[in-house]
Amino acid sequence: RRSSSFRFVEFAARVAVWWPMTEAVTLEVCENGLAVVTIDRPKALNAASVKMCQDLRAILDQIKGRQEEVKAVLLQGAGERPCFCSGGDVKALHGFLTADPSTAVPKDQMRQEYNAIAQLSALPQPTVALMNGITMGFGIGLGAIARYGVATEKSRLAMPENNIGLFPDAGFAYLAANKLAPGVGRLMALTGCHLIGAGDVLAAKLATHYVPLEDLPKLVEEDLKKANLRENADAAIKACLDGRCKAAPERTLLNDDLLDKFAKLTAAADARKMLDDMKAADLLKELDKGSPFCQAVVFKLLTLAEAECLADSARLSTALERDFATACRVMYRPDFVEGLRAVLVDKGQNGPPKWAAFNEADVEAAIVALPMGEGLF
């Protein structure tokens, strides 16, 4: 009779056969009990399709159910170009929505993404995310929810969803309110700015360790895959990371004055004047790319998350549920299809998106909880 360990590795092998390597989530279980989960779609910057999110969820279920064999989890992105995960594959949604404006595919994309984040957060094993290179949207949702996050000098983290008529989702309101440095969440959510390099990423508290890019292979192959995880996996993982970790580089964007001003912001609409007064031309340029409606929506989500008085696990599930209810409305507004067309389909060749008018009632209506039975969980 085959051992449960053999059956688990056999499952990983079937994963690689069933799922094309050009668009896959793969699993390697090392002899020491480290499960290496790889988001493998490098030609699309590891953007996760609905199927890939479903596959990731299946792997996370397997990991949770095999705690005797799997002692720790490593998440990484595939490809020669540094890239962890550029987000969910929202570009694909443009075709579905233009063919059928009421299609359920966008809802399914978000349902799979958000549940994957919740499942990763709930794993009892220590988790590590290698946020090397491009890490955006769903990528940040996964990477920053892991217990340990590794940044390199090539890390580039952003939440630019406003630019396509969506909003910074994937649990970002939870992260901003509970894990990130004050002001960081509002800055990233409203402007879509990129945090480039480990200095800003660690200062934002989106990652826990800086490991130089040239040392990543050694961290994975010589340390994590060979560590003794059988006795105290968390301590062993932390020792590996601490052993390769270097002092964080200097920040390039984040400074205390900027973060303090964003932390004290009382309305999304006030961000423009604040940045204008600071003569922050680059951030103003980024702010102006976004849908004003989506900026107002995400600001409301951030303030709600900041005011939450719940246990930590409940705060995450509440934020994800709220994201799902909001996404189920925002994705069917004109701004989303228009943003996808202008930014991801036409790639700016036909001018910037033309955003629809809105009022405060529209913002409030977007975030109302869904009817019973239609929610995320």
| Structure token digits, residue 94 | 């443009």
Question: Is the per-residue pLDDT at 133 higher than 50?
Answer: yes
| Structure token digits, residue 133 | 């290179």
Edge to edge, the sheet with strand 156-158 lists 83-85, 134-136, 156-158, 195-196
| Structure token digits, residue 263 | 């932390």
Question: Is the per-residue pLDDT at 348 higher than 60?
Answer: yes
End-to-end CA distance of the chain: 37
Angle CA(330)–CA(336)–CA(341) in degrees, nearest 5? 170
DSSP label at 103? -
Domain ranges for the chain, please list them: 25-367
The residues, ordered by sequence, that sit 6+ positions from 347 with a Cβ below 8 Å of its Cβ are none
CA atoms within a 13 Å half-sphere pointing along the CA-CB vector of 209: 24
CA-CA distance, 89 to 229, in Å (whole number)? 35
Tell me the chain's radius of gyration from C-alpha atoms.
Answer: 20
Q: What is the pLDDT of residue 15?
A: 43
**Once rounded to an integer, what is the mean pLDDT over residues 317-343?**
97
CA-CA distance, 308 to 318, in Å (whole number)? 9
Residue 2 binned pLDDT confidence (cut-offs 50, 70, 90) = very low
| Structure token digits, residue 303 | 């303030």
| Assigned CATH for 25-367 | 3.90.226.10
Q: Are 190 and 298 in contact (CB under 8 A)?
A: yes
Question: Is the per-residue pLDDT at 206 higher than 50?
Answer: yes
Mapped onto helix, strand or coil, the DSSP state of residue 116 is helix
Condensed to tens digits (0 to 9), the pLDDT of residues 284-322 reads 999 999 999 999 999 999 999 999 888 877 999 999 999
Question: Is the per-residue pLDDT at 257 higher than 80?
Answer: yes
Question: Is the per-residue pLDDT at 11 higher than 50?
Answer: no
| Structure token digits, residue 243 | 């052993």
* Residue 6: burial class (beta carbons within 10 Å; 0-12, 13-18, 19+): exposed
Q: What is the pLDDT of residue 309?
A: 86
* Residue 349: burial class (beta carbons within 10 Å; 0-12, 13-18, 19+): exposed
Condensed to tens digits (0 to 9), the pLDDT of residues 75-129 reads 999 998 999 999 999 999 999 999 999 999 999 999 999 999 999 999 999 999 9
Residue with tokens 């508290």: 205
Mapped onto helix, strand or coil, the DSSP state of residue 9 is helix
